[in-house]
Amino acid sequence: VAQPGRAAPVLSFVRNFWGGAARPIERMNQITVNTPSNPYVVLVGRGLLRKAGAALATLRDYSGVFVLSSARVWKHWGRAVEASLKDAGPLRRILFDDAERAKTLATYEKVCRQLVREGADRRALLLAVGGGVVGDVAGFVAATYLRGVRLVHVPTTLMAQVDSAIGGKTGVNLREGKNLIGAFYQPRLVLADPQTLGTLPVREFRAGLYEVIKYGILGDAELFGYLEENLADILKQTPQHLDWMITRCVEAKAGIVGKDETESGLREVLNLGHTFAHALETATGYRTYRHGEAVGWGLLAAARLAAHLKMLPAEDCARILALVRRVGALPAWPRSKPEALMQIMRSDKKARGGRVRFVLPKAIASVETGVEASDETVREVLRQMAAGRGAS
């Protein structure tokens, strides 16, 4: 059941800052995510981080703000967050390791225990400031701590701004597989400030771009063409390109999760490339690839497999391979045997009864979900990837 009233205070924040504020935000895009469990707004705007306190004030009735972040992110943005929240009531800060290999139940437990020690009660508001790892862990904490407390995301990586902060997937990895423990839990608000990407290492920015390409392949031919045309400027982080691209992806994700919050159908399209990606990350102990880089390999493998199954015209396959390759060099394909990767894929969340189900492209801007392929076909594609023929 939709609860549109919930978004109203945030909209008044948008109106107030549009006009008379001392340092107004020049351009702000506002996208509503109409999930049945909790509709909310994603704001995309340069300078939004400085307004976080005012935005939180619209959520009212919280007993205290508990910022969950990492030392790496805090070093760059901590002072700005603190300054912005100076009027938002008592603020507590919990920093944890945001390395992918630390996205574990142990980290989750540490954060929960610290919340208890800091006195977080049921009206606590958790503010997740960071990339996808911070967001996924903080989200799972918010979903489960005292059976659920309020959550606001301030995503600071491209990956988190275009994808992970939106849609309510939260969770942690097991050694056996990625994101195998988690919950769907929607935030109350998402504040995406593209200025925060200014301190992001280039490798992390590129990693996020693979996820942007994913949106183009799965349903947005205009975005795909835009990336082909403007990639050089996008890699320079030209604001006008970046802001347009982020907003476009947020709109796409909001549209999809608004129709299928818990992935009972449509939302599966967002997993394009992820069956391969999660296998690569798991096989390498979450140490070799940035998640986005694994998705980059996953897109190449998905295109290869689709072409192999004669689902994808050669011309579209070539465009996908070329665009992914132009983003930059990916860390080498792992040494793992095809059978080892296939074994991991069989315990992927999307698998049913041990049968792997792929999301594969049929054209630029069109995908098919639930595709099964014979072991021999998948093995052959994995062999091609390992032989370095993935992107050629």
Question: What's the token pair of residue 143?
Answer: 């979903």
The DSSP 8-state label assigned to residue 269 in this structure reads G
What lies within 8 Å, CB to CB, of 153 at 6+ separation is 128, 135, 138, 139, 160, 165, 187, 189, 190, 191
What lies within 8 Å, CB to CB, of 95 at 6+ separation is 69, 70, 71, 74
Q: Which is closer to ligand NAD, CB of 134 or CB of 367?
A: 134
- Which amino acid, one-letter code, is at 10? V
271 is annotated as an active-site residue: yes
Options 161-169, 184-192, 216-224, 330-338: segment touching ligand GLY (CB under 6 A): 161-169
x/- contact string, 233-272, with ligand GLY (CB under 6 A)?
Answer: ----------------------------------x--x--
Q: Which is closer to ligand NAD, CB of 196 or CB of 336?
A: 196
CA distance 281 to 101: 10
The DSSP 8-state label assigned to residue 160 in this structure reads I
Give yes or no for residue 277 binding ligand NAD (CB under 6 A).
no
Pick the catalytic residue from 46, 51, 248, 274. 274
Sole binder of ligand GLY in the list 167, 187, 216, 292 (CB under 6 A): 167
Pick the catalytic residue from 204, 251, 263, 268. 263
Asked if residue 245 lies in contact with residue 158, where contact means CB atoms within 8 angstroms, the answer is no
In what helix (H) or strand (E) does residue 124 lie, and over which residues does it extend?
Answer: strand 124-130
Sole binder of ligand GLY in the list 163, 251, 293, 316 (CB under 6 A): 163
Q: Map the footprint of ligand NAD across residues 74-93, applying CB under 6 A.
A: 76
211 is annotated as an active-site residue: yes
Q: Which entry of ligand NAD, ligand GLY, none binds 291, CB below 5 to 8 A by partner kind?
A: ligand NAD
CA distances from 309 to 27, 112, 238, 302, 312 (A): 45, 47, 39, 10, 8
Where along the sequence are the contacts to ligand NAD (CB under 6 A)?
70, 72-73, 76, 98, 100, 103, 130-134, 136, 156-157, 159-160, 163-164, 167, 169, 179, 196, 199-200, 204, 207, 290-292
